[in-house]
Amino acid sequence: MTTPPRSHATRCAIALAALLAAAAPAWAGDTTPAQQLDRFNAAAGAPGQAERGRVFFGRTHGGEWSCASCHHAPPTRPGQHAGTGKALEPLAPAFNPRAFTDSAKVDKWFRRNCKDVLQRECSAAEKADVMAYLNSLK
Amino acid sequence: MNRRIAAPLISLNALIALLALTSAPAIADGPLMPLRVPPAYTQECGACHTAYPPALLPARSWQRLMGGLDKHYGTDAALDPKTLAELSGWLQQHAGTTQRVAEEPPQDRITRSAWFERKHRKVEPAVWKLPSVKSAAQCAACHRGADQGRFDDDELITPAGLSAAQRRAWND
Q: Does residue A88 belong to any structural domain of this protein?
A: yes
Q: Does residue A14 belong to any structural domain of this protein?
A: no
Q: Does residue B10 belong to any structural domain of this protein?
A: no
Q: Does residue A1 belong to any structural domain of this protein?
A: no
Judge: A86–B74 Cβ closer than 8 Å, yes or no.
no
Q: What is the pLDDT of residues A4-56, one digit of tens each?
A: 455 565 555 555 444 444 444 444 589 999 999 999 999 999 999 999 999 99
pTM here? 0.75
Q: Which residues contact B65 (CB under 8 A, 6 or more apart)?
A: B57, B72, B108
Domains of chain A: total = 1
Q: Is A83 touching B (CB cutoff 8 A)?
A: yes
Q: Does residue B104 belong to any structural domain of this protein?
A: yes
Reported ipTM: the value is: 0.73
Option in B18, B49, B133 nearest A13 (CB): B18
Q: What is the pLDDT of residues B79-130, one digit of tens each?
A: 999 999 999 999 999 999 999 999 999 999 999 999 999 999 999 889 998 9
Judge: B15–A13 Cβ closer than 8 Å, yes or no.
yes
Q: Which residues contact B31 (CB under 8 A, 6 or more apart)?
A: B23, B24, B25, B145, B148, B149, B150
Instruction: Please give the span between the terminal C-alpha atoms of chain B, in angstroms, as a whole number.
Output: 59
Option in B11, B13, B135 nearest A85 (CB): B135
A112 interaction partners in chain B (CB closer than 8 Å): 75-77
| Chain A nearest CA to B8, separation (Å) | 7
Would you say residue A124 has pLDDT above 60?
Answer: yes
Domains of chain B: total = 1
